[in-house]
Structure 1
Amino acid sequence: MSFPPELLPHYTPRLVLRRFDDTDLQPFLAYRNDPEVARYQSWSMFAPTDAQHFIREMKRARIGEPGEWFQIAIAERRTNRLLGDIGMCVDAQRPTHMELGFTLALPAQGQGYGREAVQAWITRTFQHTAITTIVGITDSRNMPSRKLLQALGMQWTRTDEREFKGESCLEETYAVTALGWQP
Protein backbone atom coordinates (compact mmCIF):
# COMPACT_ATOMS: atom_id res chain seq x y z
CA MET A 1 0.00 0.00 0.00
CA SER A 2 1.47 3.32 -0.98
CA PHE A 3 -0.24 6.66 -0.62
CA PRO A 4 -1.87 8.51 -3.51
CA PRO A 5 0.86 10.63 -5.16
CA GLU A 6 -1.48 13.62 -5.32
CA LEU A 7 -1.16 14.06 -1.54
CA LEU A 8 1.85 16.24 -2.34
CA PRO A 9 2.19 19.11 -2.75
CA HIS A 10 -0.22 20.37 -0.10
CA TYR A 11 -0.63 24.01 0.83
CA THR A 12 -1.45 25.43 4.25
CA PRO A 13 -1.82 29.15 5.03
CA ARG A 14 1.97 29.63 5.49
CA LEU A 15 3.56 26.42 4.24
CA VAL A 16 3.82 23.96 1.41
CA LEU A 17 4.35 20.26 2.13
CA ARG A 18 6.11 18.83 -0.91
CA ARG A 19 8.78 16.52 -2.18
CA PHE A 20 12.37 17.62 -1.80
CA ASP A 21 14.01 19.30 -4.78
CA ASP A 22 17.57 20.21 -5.73
CA THR A 23 17.26 23.76 -4.37
CA ASP A 24 16.85 22.27 -0.87
CA LEU A 25 20.44 21.04 -0.61
CA GLN A 26 22.03 23.96 1.27
CA PRO A 27 19.20 24.61 3.77
CA PHE A 28 18.89 20.84 4.33
CA LEU A 29 22.61 20.57 5.09
CA ALA A 30 22.43 23.60 7.39
CA TYR A 31 19.75 22.22 9.70
CA ARG A 32 20.80 18.58 9.50
CA ASN A 33 24.33 19.58 10.55
CA ASP A 34 23.21 21.81 13.40
CA PRO A 35 24.13 19.94 16.63
CA GLU A 36 21.18 21.50 18.46
CA VAL A 37 18.72 20.27 15.82
CA ALA A 38 20.36 16.83 15.63
CA ARG A 39 20.48 16.26 19.41
CA TYR A 40 17.36 14.08 19.57
CA GLN A 41 17.52 12.75 16.01
CA SER A 42 18.93 9.44 14.80
CA TRP A 43 21.54 11.29 12.69
CA SER A 44 24.35 13.56 13.78
CA MET A 45 25.94 14.96 10.62
CA PHE A 46 25.22 14.88 6.89
CA ALA A 47 27.97 15.09 4.27
CA PRO A 48 27.03 16.98 1.08
CA THR A 49 27.17 13.77 -0.98
CA ASP A 50 24.87 12.00 1.50
CA ALA A 51 22.43 14.92 1.36
CA GLN A 52 22.44 14.89 -2.46
CA HIS A 53 21.74 11.15 -2.43
CA PHE A 54 18.97 11.61 0.15
CA ILE A 55 17.26 14.34 -1.89
CA ARG A 56 17.57 12.27 -5.08
CA GLU A 57 15.97 9.29 -3.29
CA MET A 58 13.11 11.34 -1.83
CA LYS A 59 12.34 12.88 -5.23
CA ARG A 60 11.47 9.48 -6.65
CA ALA A 61 10.42 7.39 -3.61
CA ARG A 62 6.84 6.21 -3.28
CA ILE A 63 4.94 7.83 -0.42
CA GLY A 64 3.77 5.41 2.26
CA GLU A 65 5.66 2.30 1.19
CA PRO A 66 5.39 0.00 4.26
CA GLY A 67 8.62 -0.29 6.20
CA GLU A 68 10.30 2.60 4.31
CA TRP A 69 10.82 6.07 5.72
CA PHE A 70 9.68 8.93 3.50
CA GLN A 71 10.56 12.57 4.21
CA ILE A 72 8.24 15.41 3.29
CA ALA A 73 9.80 18.83 2.81
CA ILE A 74 8.27 21.66 4.84
CA ALA A 75 8.78 24.90 2.93
CA GLU A 76 7.63 28.46 3.39
CA ARG A 77 4.72 28.96 1.00
CA ARG A 78 5.65 32.49 -0.08
CA THR A 79 9.34 31.81 -0.87
CA ASN A 80 9.49 27.98 -1.15
CA ARG A 81 12.44 28.15 1.29
CA LEU A 82 13.01 24.81 3.07
CA LEU A 83 12.29 25.03 6.81
CA GLY A 84 12.43 21.36 7.80
CA ASP A 85 10.81 18.02 7.14
CA ILE A 86 8.32 15.43 8.33
CA GLY A 87 9.42 11.80 8.35
CA MET A 88 6.82 9.07 8.06
CA CYS A 89 6.95 5.29 7.98
CA VAL A 90 4.01 2.94 7.52
CA ASP A 91 4.40 -0.11 9.77
CA ALA A 92 5.25 -3.14 7.59
CA GLN A 93 3.49 -5.54 10.01
CA ARG A 94 0.44 -3.33 10.61
CA PRO A 95 -0.07 -1.26 7.46
CA THR A 96 -2.85 0.78 9.07
CA HIS A 97 -0.32 2.21 11.57
CA MET A 98 2.22 4.90 10.82
CA GLU A 99 5.04 6.54 12.76
CA LEU A 100 5.93 10.15 12.13
CA GLY A 101 8.64 12.53 13.21
CA PHE A 102 9.54 16.10 12.41
CA THR A 103 12.56 18.35 12.18
CA LEU A 104 12.71 22.13 11.87
CA ALA A 105 15.69 24.39 11.33
CA LEU A 106 16.45 26.38 14.48
CA PRO A 107 15.33 29.75 13.00
CA ALA A 108 11.95 28.18 12.06
CA GLN A 109 11.27 26.80 15.54
CA GLY A 110 8.85 28.45 17.93
CA GLN A 111 6.71 30.02 15.19
CA GLY A 112 3.98 27.39 14.89
CA TYR A 113 5.35 25.93 11.65
CA GLY A 114 5.76 22.47 13.18
CA ARG A 115 2.17 22.36 14.38
CA GLU A 116 0.82 23.73 11.09
CA ALA A 117 2.77 21.20 9.02
CA VAL A 118 2.25 18.10 11.17
CA GLN A 119 -1.44 18.86 11.74
CA ALA A 120 -1.99 19.24 8.00
CA TRP A 121 -0.14 15.99 7.25
CA ILE A 122 -2.04 13.99 9.89
CA THR A 123 -5.34 15.34 8.55
CA ARG A 124 -4.44 14.43 4.96
CA THR A 125 -3.24 11.00 6.01
CA PHE A 126 -6.47 10.17 7.82
CA GLN A 127 -8.65 11.62 5.04
CA HIS A 128 -6.93 10.02 2.06
CA THR A 129 -5.35 6.75 3.19
CA ALA A 130 -6.16 3.57 5.10
CA ILE A 131 -4.04 4.67 8.09
CA THR A 132 -6.03 4.43 11.34
CA THR A 133 -3.30 5.09 13.94
CA ILE A 134 -0.37 7.51 13.93
CA VAL A 135 2.37 7.46 16.57
CA GLY A 136 5.11 9.90 17.44
CA ILE A 137 8.10 8.87 19.54
CA THR A 138 10.35 11.37 21.30
CA ASP A 139 13.05 11.58 23.92
CA SER A 140 11.44 12.75 27.18
CA ARG A 141 14.04 15.54 27.37
CA ASN A 142 12.86 17.00 24.06
CA MET A 143 10.24 19.34 25.53
CA PRO A 144 9.34 21.15 22.26
CA SER A 145 8.60 17.82 20.58
CA ARG A 146 6.57 16.56 23.53
CA LYS A 147 4.59 19.81 23.65
CA LEU A 148 3.86 19.64 19.93
CA LEU A 149 2.63 16.03 20.10
CA GLN A 150 0.40 16.93 23.05
CA ALA A 151 -0.87 20.13 21.37
CA LEU A 152 -1.90 18.03 18.38
CA GLY A 153 -4.07 15.94 20.69
CA MET A 154 -1.86 12.88 20.60
CA GLN A 155 -2.12 10.81 23.77
CA TRP A 156 0.81 9.42 25.73
CA THR A 157 0.77 5.61 25.49
CA ARG A 158 4.04 4.49 27.09
CA THR A 159 7.57 5.33 28.21
CA ASP A 160 10.51 3.02 27.49
CA GLU A 161 14.10 3.11 28.74
CA ARG A 162 16.54 3.27 25.85
CA GLU A 163 20.15 4.00 25.10
CA PHE A 164 20.44 6.78 22.56
CA LYS A 165 23.71 8.21 21.25
CA GLY A 166 25.58 6.59 24.10
CA GLU A 167 23.39 7.80 26.95
CA SER A 168 20.38 6.46 28.80
CA CYS A 169 17.09 8.13 28.08
CA LEU A 170 13.35 7.72 28.37
CA GLU A 171 11.53 7.45 25.07
CA GLU A 172 7.89 8.54 25.10
CA THR A 173 5.31 7.27 22.62
CA TYR A 174 2.22 9.28 21.73
CA ALA A 175 -0.63 8.16 19.47
CA VAL A 176 -3.76 9.38 17.79
CA THR A 177 -6.42 7.44 15.90
CA ALA A 178 -8.48 8.51 12.93
CA LEU A 179 -11.61 8.31 15.09
CA GLY A 180 -10.05 10.49 17.80
CA TRP A 181 -8.43 13.04 15.47
CA GLN A 182 -9.69 16.60 15.88
CA PRO A 183 -7.69 19.00 13.70
Structure 2
Amino acid sequence: MLLFPANFLPQSTERLILRRFIDVDLERFLAYRQDPQVAQFQGWSMLSEAEGKTFIKEMQTAAIGIPGEWFQMAIAYKQSNLLIGDIGMQIYAKDPTNVEVGFTLNQQEQGKGYAREAVSALIHLLFKLGSINKIVAITDSRNESSIRLLKRLGMRLSNSLEVEFRGEWCVEETFELNHQDWLLSSIKSDEK
Protein backbone atom coordinates (compact mmCIF):
# COMPACT_ATOMS: atom_id res chain seq x y z
CA MET A 1 0.00 0.00 0.00
CA LEU A 2 1.19 3.48 -0.90
CA LEU A 3 1.84 5.50 2.21
CA PHE A 4 0.39 8.98 2.15
CA PRO A 5 2.08 11.44 4.52
CA ALA A 6 0.09 12.63 7.52
CA ASN A 7 0.15 16.17 6.09
CA PHE A 8 -1.37 15.13 2.72
CA LEU A 9 -4.58 16.88 3.83
CA PRO A 10 -5.45 19.63 4.35
CA GLN A 11 -3.84 21.50 1.45
CA SER A 12 -4.45 25.10 0.48
CA THR A 13 -4.47 26.77 -2.93
CA GLU A 14 -4.94 30.44 -3.71
CA ARG A 15 -8.73 30.35 -3.11
CA LEU A 16 -9.48 26.84 -1.88
CA ILE A 17 -8.68 24.19 0.67
CA LEU A 18 -8.63 20.45 0.02
CA ARG A 19 -9.52 18.69 3.26
CA ARG A 20 -11.41 15.86 4.83
CA PHE A 21 -15.16 16.21 5.12
CA ILE A 22 -16.60 17.64 8.34
CA ASP A 23 -20.09 17.19 9.82
CA VAL A 24 -21.29 20.67 8.83
CA ASP A 25 -20.66 19.82 5.14
CA LEU A 26 -23.76 17.60 4.99
CA GLU A 27 -26.31 20.16 3.77
CA ARG A 28 -24.05 21.62 1.08
CA PHE A 29 -22.85 18.12 0.07
CA LEU A 30 -26.40 16.86 -0.40
CA ALA A 31 -27.38 20.04 -2.30
CA TYR A 32 -24.99 19.31 -5.17
CA ARG A 33 -25.05 15.52 -4.92
CA GLN A 34 -28.85 15.58 -5.31
CA ASP A 35 -28.79 18.02 -8.25
CA PRO A 36 -29.74 16.06 -11.43
CA GLN A 37 -27.64 18.37 -13.62
CA VAL A 38 -24.54 17.82 -11.48
CA ALA A 39 -25.18 14.06 -11.34
CA GLN A 40 -25.82 13.67 -15.08
CA PHE A 41 -22.34 12.38 -16.03
CA GLN A 42 -21.26 11.09 -12.62
CA GLY A 43 -20.69 7.45 -11.72
CA TRP A 44 -22.22 7.90 -8.27
CA SER A 45 -25.91 7.88 -7.49
CA MET A 46 -27.78 10.49 -5.50
CA LEU A 47 -27.63 10.02 -1.73
CA SER A 48 -30.31 10.28 0.92
CA GLU A 49 -29.58 12.36 4.03
CA ALA A 50 -28.78 9.20 6.02
CA GLU A 51 -26.45 7.94 3.26
CA GLY A 52 -24.79 11.36 3.10
CA LYS A 53 -24.14 11.33 6.85
CA THR A 54 -22.67 7.82 6.63
CA PHE A 55 -20.49 8.82 3.67
CA ILE A 56 -19.13 11.88 5.46
CA LYS A 57 -18.43 9.87 8.63
CA GLU A 58 -16.55 7.24 6.59
CA MET A 59 -14.44 9.82 4.75
CA GLN A 60 -13.51 11.58 8.01
CA THR A 61 -11.45 8.57 9.12
CA ALA A 62 -10.83 6.60 5.90
CA ALA A 63 -7.24 5.72 5.10
CA ILE A 64 -5.93 7.57 2.06
CA GLY A 65 -4.47 5.52 -0.76
CA ILE A 66 -5.80 2.00 -0.24
CA PRO A 67 -5.48 0.41 -3.70
CA GLY A 68 -8.86 -0.29 -5.26
CA GLU A 69 -10.81 1.97 -2.87
CA TRP A 70 -12.09 5.44 -3.63
CA PHE A 71 -11.23 8.26 -1.24
CA GLN A 72 -13.18 11.53 -1.47
CA MET A 73 -11.80 14.83 -0.25
CA ALA A 74 -13.76 18.03 0.20
CA ILE A 75 -13.15 21.19 -1.84
CA ALA A 76 -13.97 24.25 0.26
CA TYR A 77 -13.47 28.00 0.10
CA LYS A 78 -10.22 28.89 1.83
CA GLN A 79 -11.68 31.92 3.64
CA SER A 80 -14.99 30.51 4.89
CA ASN A 81 -14.26 26.73 4.79
CA LEU A 82 -17.68 26.23 3.13
CA LEU A 83 -17.93 23.13 0.95
CA ILE A 84 -18.27 23.67 -2.83
CA GLY A 85 -17.44 20.21 -4.18
CA ASP A 86 -15.27 17.15 -3.86
CA ILE A 87 -12.56 15.16 -5.60
CA GLY A 88 -12.36 11.40 -5.57
CA MET A 89 -9.21 9.40 -6.15
CA GLN A 90 -8.51 5.70 -6.44
CA ILE A 91 -5.11 4.05 -6.56
CA TYR A 92 -5.43 1.20 -9.06
CA ALA A 93 -5.17 -2.18 -7.34
CA LYS A 94 -3.53 -3.81 -10.38
CA ASP A 95 -1.00 -1.00 -10.81
CA PRO A 96 -0.53 1.18 -7.71
CA THR A 97 1.53 3.68 -9.72
CA ASN A 98 -1.70 4.79 -11.46
CA VAL A 99 -4.40 6.93 -9.85
CA GLU A 100 -7.86 7.69 -11.20
CA VAL A 101 -9.42 11.00 -10.22
CA GLY A 102 -12.92 12.40 -10.52
CA PHE A 103 -14.39 15.71 -9.44
CA THR A 104 -17.76 17.25 -8.66
CA LEU A 105 -18.62 20.90 -8.08
CA ASN A 106 -21.79 22.60 -6.97
CA GLN A 107 -23.47 23.96 -10.11
CA GLN A 108 -23.23 27.57 -8.85
CA GLU A 109 -19.45 27.23 -8.50
CA GLN A 110 -18.79 25.83 -11.97
CA GLY A 111 -17.07 27.94 -14.60
CA LYS A 112 -15.04 29.96 -12.07
CA GLY A 113 -11.78 28.01 -12.26
CA TYR A 114 -12.29 26.21 -8.95
CA ALA A 115 -12.20 22.70 -10.43
CA ARG A 116 -8.99 23.46 -12.28
CA GLU A 117 -7.41 24.93 -9.15
CA ALA A 118 -8.40 21.95 -6.99
CA VAL A 119 -7.57 19.16 -9.45
CA SER A 120 -4.28 20.82 -10.39
CA ALA A 121 -3.34 20.93 -6.70
CA LEU A 122 -4.21 17.25 -6.29
CA ILE A 123 -2.16 16.30 -9.37
CA HIS A 124 0.80 18.19 -7.91
CA LEU A 125 0.39 16.45 -4.54
CA LEU A 126 0.13 12.99 -6.11
CA PHE A 127 3.16 13.36 -8.35
CA LYS A 128 5.14 14.86 -5.45
CA LEU A 129 4.72 11.53 -3.61
CA GLY A 130 7.27 10.08 -6.04
CA SER A 131 5.52 6.74 -6.53
CA ILE A 132 2.73 7.80 -8.91
CA ASN A 133 3.49 7.52 -12.63
CA LYS A 134 0.11 8.25 -14.20
CA ILE A 135 -3.12 10.07 -13.38
CA VAL A 136 -6.27 8.98 -15.20
CA ALA A 137 -9.67 10.64 -15.55
CA ILE A 138 -12.66 9.09 -17.31
CA THR A 139 -15.53 11.22 -18.60
CA ASP A 140 -18.56 11.01 -20.85
CA SER A 141 -17.84 12.45 -24.30
CA ARG A 142 -20.88 14.74 -23.85
CA ASN A 143 -19.35 16.33 -20.74
CA GLU A 144 -17.63 19.10 -22.68
CA SER A 145 -16.70 21.25 -19.67
CA SER A 146 -14.86 18.36 -17.99
CA ILE A 147 -13.06 17.51 -21.24
CA ARG A 148 -11.92 21.13 -21.61
CA LEU A 149 -10.67 21.10 -18.02
CA LEU A 150 -8.75 17.84 -18.44
CA LYS A 151 -7.07 19.19 -21.57
CA ARG A 152 -6.15 22.45 -19.78
CA LEU A 153 -4.55 20.33 -17.07
CA GLY A 154 -2.32 18.74 -19.72
CA MET A 155 -4.15 15.43 -19.88
CA ARG A 156 -4.33 13.61 -23.20
CA LEU A 157 -7.13 11.49 -24.62
CA SER A 158 -5.86 7.91 -24.56
CA ASN A 159 -8.97 5.85 -25.21
CA SER A 160 -12.63 6.09 -26.23
CA LEU A 161 -15.03 3.27 -25.54
CA GLU A 162 -18.75 2.87 -26.17
CA VAL A 163 -20.41 1.71 -22.95
CA GLU A 164 -23.85 1.48 -21.44
CA PHE A 165 -24.33 4.03 -18.66
CA ARG A 166 -27.59 4.42 -16.76
CA GLY A 167 -29.51 2.54 -19.42
CA GLU A 168 -28.19 4.38 -22.46
CA TRP A 169 -25.19 4.07 -24.73
CA CYS A 170 -22.47 6.69 -24.51
CA VAL A 171 -18.79 7.11 -25.24
CA GLU A 172 -16.45 7.12 -22.26
CA GLU A 173 -13.23 9.00 -22.88
CA THR A 174 -10.13 8.22 -20.85
CA PHE A 175 -7.61 11.00 -20.33
CA GLU A 176 -4.14 10.46 -18.92
CA LEU A 177 -1.25 12.52 -17.62
CA ASN A 178 2.02 10.77 -16.94
CA HIS A 179 4.59 12.03 -14.50
CA GLN A 180 7.21 12.74 -17.16
CA ASP A 181 4.86 14.95 -19.22
CA TRP A 182 3.77 16.76 -16.06
CA LEU A 183 7.41 17.43 -15.13
CA LEU A 184 8.13 18.79 -18.60
CA SER A 185 5.08 21.08 -18.53
CA SER A 186 6.04 22.26 -15.02
CA ILE A 187 9.54 23.13 -16.21
CA LYS A 188 8.14 25.03 -19.20
CA SER A 189 5.74 26.93 -16.92
CA ASP A 190 8.61 27.88 -14.59
CA GLU A 191 10.66 29.17 -17.54
CA LYS A 192 7.93 31.60 -18.63
TM bucket normalised to smaller:
over 0.9
Deviation, 1:45, is 1.6
Distance 1:2 1:67, change over 3 A: farther
Corresponding residue number in structure 1 for 2:81: 80
Whole-angstrom distance in 2 between the partners of 1:117 and 1:35: 23
Alignment of 1:1-183 (within 5 A): 1-181=2-182, 182-183=185-186
Aligned CA-pair RMSD = 0.9
Q: Which amino acid aligns with 2:168?
A: E
Structure 2 unaligned spans of 5+: 187-192
**Runs of 4+ more than 2 Å apart:** none
Paired residues of 1:3 and 1:129 also in contact (CA < 8 A): no
Any idea what the Cα deviations from partners look like across 1:152-180, whole Å, max 9, x if unmatched? 00010010000001100000000001111
Instruction: Give the TM-score of the pair, scaled to structure 2.
Output: 0.93
* CA-CA distance at 1:2 after TM superposition: 3.4
Residue-by-residue CA offset, 1:129-153 (whole Å, 9 max, x unaligned): 4111000000000001101100100
Aligned residues: 183
Alpha-carbon distance between aligned partners in 1 of 2:51 and 2:130, rounded to the nearest angstrom: 31
How big is the shift at 1:43?
2.5
Output one character per residue of 1:87-134: Cα deviation in whole Å (capped at 9) or x when no partner.
Answer: 000000100001000000001100000000000000011012411100
Q: Distance in 2 between matches of 1:3 and 1:97?
A: 14
Output the CA distance in 2 between the equivalents of 1:57 and 1:41.
20
Q: Tell me the TM-score normalised to structure 1 length.
A: 0.98
CA distance in 2 between counterparts of 1:139 and 1:8 reads 29
Structure 1, unaligned runs of 5 or more: none
